[in-house]
Amino acid sequence: MENREGVVFTGIVEEVGVIRELRFLSESAVVTIAAGTILPGLKIGDSVAVNGVCLTVTRILPDSFICDISTETLRLTAFKQTRTGAKVNLERAVSVGDRLGGHIMQGHVDAVGRLVSKIPAGEGFDVTFSFPQTMERYLVYKGSIAVNGISLTIASLGKETFSVAVIPHTFSVTTLGQLAIGDPVNLEADILGRYFERYFELGLLPGAPPASKITASYLKEQGF
């Protein structure tokens, strides 16, 4: 995840690309991604969300683009488990005036979860993912979450898993339909939750308890 100020994504995947080469170095990596739709107008230095990870374009080829992957990105994302030939969700950074079709995302992955189940429901699927305990405080029922760069809404929430209802269109234009049980996924919580938590940590609301003691009952009392 590159530390790029002002870069925003929406979680509406533009196309599914293919990792043509993933070359691991001593502590970092270089990835070449075959693409088509997003290439016209793409420039060196542009940001692209690759499976929800914000990467900077360092070179552009006729049918692909190249990005460096930092040590920190390898540590925090599923890239270290990705291999050549894997399909990835691609989205360019939002431009001023674009529609915000999903929710605000930065391409800064919070944790790696795994696909737990994928159950047919009507024409679509109910899909369940696991998440680490560190993310629990940021997830809310009917809230937004990014899974491999896809903006999704939490339909049910447990202590270690959450489920989303996925329509056929989302399966057809992203990599969700190709995930197998146990596959790792990049998770990014809604950034508004982080600001909300920090707001209470700093005591900006009179009488607010420490963030660790914030409960559903307390939030209800405050009118949230």
Each residue of 58-109: pLDDT tens digit?
A: 999 999 999 999 999 999 999 999 999 999 999 999 876 666 677 889 899 9
Tell me what the mean pLDDT of segment 12-20 comes to. 97
Q: Are residues 156 and 86 in the same domain?
A: no
pTM: 0.85
Between 197 and 43, the higher pLDDT residue: 43
Q: Are residues 123 and 154 in the same domain?
A: yes
Task: With residue 151 as reference, give the H or E element that holds it.
Answer: strand 150-157
Residue 74 and residue 121 in one domain? no
* Domain shared by 33 and 67, yes or no: yes
Backbone angles phi, psi at 212, to 5 degrees: -65, -15
* Residue-range definition of the domain harbouring residue 142: 111-195
Q: Is residue 127 part of a domain?
A: yes
**Least confident segment among 18-32, 45-59, 147-161, 181-195:** 181-195
Asked if 69 and 29 count as a contact pair (C-beta separation under 8 A), the reply is: yes
**Residue 181 lies inside a defined structural domain of this protein:** yes
Q: Are residues 66 and 119 in the same domain?
A: no
Q: Are 118 and 177 in contact (CB under 8 A)?
A: no
Tell me which residue of 59, 28, 21 sits closest to 42, measured CA to CA.
59
Shared domain check, 136 and 75: no
Average pLDDT estimate for 120-140: 93
221: pLDDT strictly greater than 90? no
- The CATH number that applies at residue 137 is 2.40.30.20
- Do the domain assignments include residue 8? no
Check whether 53 has a pLDDT greater than 70: yes
User: What pLDDT was estimated at residue 82?
Assistant: 92
Identify whether residues 115 and 178 lie together within a single domain: yes
Residue 7 lies in a domain: no
So what's the pLDDT on residue 204? Answer: 62
Tell me, yes or no, whether 215 lies in a domain: no
Q: Is residue 64 located within the same domain as residue 126?
A: no
Same domain, 28 and 57: yes
Q: What is the pLDDT of residue 17?
A: 98
Q: Are residues 128 and 174 in the same domain?
A: yes
In b/e form, how buried is each residue of 85-123, taking b as 16+ CB within 10 angstroms? Answer: ebebbbbbbbeeeeeeebbbbbbbbbbbbbbbebeeeee
Do residues 32 and 20 touch, judged by C-beta distance below 8 A? yes
Total of domains in the chain: 2
Q: Round the average pLDDT of the chain to a whole number and report it.
A: 88
Residue 209 domain-assigned (yes or no)? no
Does residue 88 sit in the same domain as residue 134? no
Residues 73 and 147 in one domain: no
pLDDT for the residue 43: 95
Q: Is residue 130 over pLDDT 70?
A: yes
Matching residue, tokens 């692209």:
48
What is residue 219's predicted lDDT score, i.e. its pLDDT? 54
- Return the CA Rg of the chain: 18
In a domain, 134, yes or no: yes
Distance of alpha carbon 26 from alpha carbon 182, whole angstroms: 27
Q: Kindly state the percentage of the chain with pLDDT values over 70.
A: 83
Q: Using one digit for the tens of pLDDT, what is the confidence trace for 151-203?
A: 999 999 999 999 999 999 999 999 999 999 999 999 999 887 777 777 676 76
